[in-house]
Amino acid sequence: METITDKKIEGLKIKANNIRKSIIEMLYEAKSGHTAGALGMADIFTYLYFYSLKHKPENPMWSDRDRLVLSNGHICPVLYATMAHAGYFEIKELQTLRKFGSRLQGHPHREFLPIVETSSGPLGEGISQSVGMAIASRMENGIDRTIYCLVGDGELDEGQNWEAIMLASKEKLDNLIVIVDRNFIQIDGKTESVMPLNDLASKWESFNWNVEVINGHDFRDIHNAIYKIKSTKGKPSVIIANTTPGKGVKEFENNYLWHGKAPNKEETNMAIEELKIIGEQLF
C-alpha cells in the first residue's frame, strides 16, 4: 500500500480548512444553500482532488480522467470550492453561487458547467449513472479509470439506489467506488427517525459489495480505505464515511437545521473566525 506522509496530511488539513472558509463565504453571499453536508464532506473532497483523483485542472475534459459523480447535488458548494482551489476556475467565481447567469447553480448543472460529470438534483440517481460509467469504462481497453460516486445517507431512502447496487454487484464493477456521507441527518431530521437505515455496512455486504467503514475526517483512514479498495478485484466497493455535519464550526455541527440553511452575517463572521483559529493551529 502506498503510504501517505504526515507532511502531506498536514497540507491536506490546511487545504480542507481553506475550502471550508470558501464554503461559508459563498453561502453567505448567495443567502441560500446547504451548509452542513458541504462542510462535513470537505475532507473527503480535499483528499480526492488533491491526492487520489486522476484529473487535470488545466485539461478538464482529459479523456483518461477518473470520473466523480456527486449524487447528492445539494452539497455542491464543497464541490465548487474544491474545484476552484484545485485550479479549475478562479476562487472569486465562488461568489456567484446561485446567482442568475452563474455557472455555479444550486445543484451542479452540466449545461452551465461542462467540467462537472453530471447534472444532479433529484436524489437517488448518482449510483445508477456511475454504474453506467463503470460499465462503459470497462469497455475501453487499456483505460485504468476509477468511477467515484458521492451519495448522502438520507438519499439511500430512494429505491433506485438498490437496483443500481444489485447491478453493480452482478457486473463485478471493481472500478466503482461509492462513498456514503454517513452524517445521520437529512432535511426533515435525523436519518434514523425519518427512515432508519440501521446497519448500512451489513446491507451493502449482503449485496456482495466490498465495504470499508471509516472516519470521514481522518485523512489516513480515507487514504488506507481507498488504497485497500484499489487492490480488491471482482466486486464494487463502498466507503461508509462517518462524518460530522457542519464540521469545523461548533455551532453548526450535528444540527439538522443547517442541512439547507445559509449563515447570516453574524454567523458567517463567527464561523470564519472559528476556522481561522483552526487554521492557525495547523501551522
Beta strands, E only, 88-221? 147-152, 176-182, 185-186, 189-190, 210-215
> Quick one: pLDDT at residue 245?
96
Residues 236-248: what's their mean pLDDT?
97
Cα–Cα distance measured from residue 9 to residue 57, given in angstroms and rounded to the nearest whole number: 21
Decide if 37 contacts 152 (C-beta within 8 A). Answer: yes
pLDDT band at 169 (very low <50, low <70, confident <90, very high): very high
Residues 17-35: what's their mean pLDDT?
97
> Quick one: pLDDT at residue 283?
72
Higher pLDDT: 186 or 86? It is 86
| Residue 229 grid coordinates | 479498495
Q: Quick count: other Cβ atoms within 10 Å of Cβ 189?
A: 14
Q: For residue 148, list its beta bridge partners.
A: 68, 177
Burial of 5 (0-12, 13-18, 19+ CB in 10 A): exposed
For residue 141, pLDDT over 80 is answered with no
C-alpha 66: how far from chain center: 14
> Quick one: pLDDT at residue 122?
87
> Quick one: pLDDT at residue 187?
86
Residues 115-123: what's their mean pLDDT?
91
> Quick one: pLDDT at residue 49?
98
Q: Quick count: other Cβ atoms within 10 Å of Cβ 46?
A: 27
> Quick one: pLDDT at residue 179?
98
Residues 150-175: what's their mean pLDDT?
97
Out of 89-103, 134-148, 196-210, 239-253, pick the least confident: 134-148
Q: For residue 215, list its beta bridge partners.
A: 242
CATH class of 6-282: alpha beta
Using only the alpha carbons of the chain, give its radius of gyration.
18
Cα–Cα distance measured from residue 144 to residue 179, given in angstroms and rounded to the nearest whole number: 19
pLDDT band at 39 (very low <50, low <70, confident <90, very high): very high
Q: Which residues does 173 contact at the CB level (< 8 Å), separation at least 6?
A: 131, 134, 135, 138, 147, 235, 236
Averaged confidence pLDDT in the chain: 95
Q: Which residues does 7 contact at the CB level (< 8 Å), separation at least 6?
A: none
Decide if 33 contacts 244 (C-beta within 8 A). Answer: no
Q: Quick count: other Cβ atoms within 10 Å of Cβ 283?
A: 6
Decide if 66 contacts 144 (C-beta within 8 A). Answer: no
> Quick one: pLDDT at residue 1?
62
| Residue 261 grid coordinates | 440553511
Q: Which of 2-11, 15-24, 249-258 has the highest mean pLDDT?
A: 15-24
Instruction: Enumerate the domain spans of the chain.
Output: 6-282
For residue 239, pLDDT over 90 is answered with yes
Share of the chain above pLDDT 90, in %: 92
> Quick one: pLDDT at residue 126?
96
How do residues 63-102 score in pLDDT, each as one tens digit?
A: 999 999 999 999 999 999 999 999 999 999 999 999 999 9
Within the chain, residue ranges assigned H as helices are 6-30, 36-40, 42-47, 76-86, 126-138, 159-170, 191-194, 200-206, 219-230, 265-282
Q: Residue length, the chain? A: 283
For residue 143, pLDDT over 90 is answered with no
Instruction: Choose among 175, 150, 194: nearest CA to 235.
Output: 175
> Quick one: pLDDT at residue 2?
79
Residues 234-247: what's their mean pLDDT?
97
> Quick one: pLDDT at residue 19?
98
Kindly compute the dihedral angle of the four CA atoms of residues 96, 99, 102, 103, in this order, to the nearest 10 degrees.
90
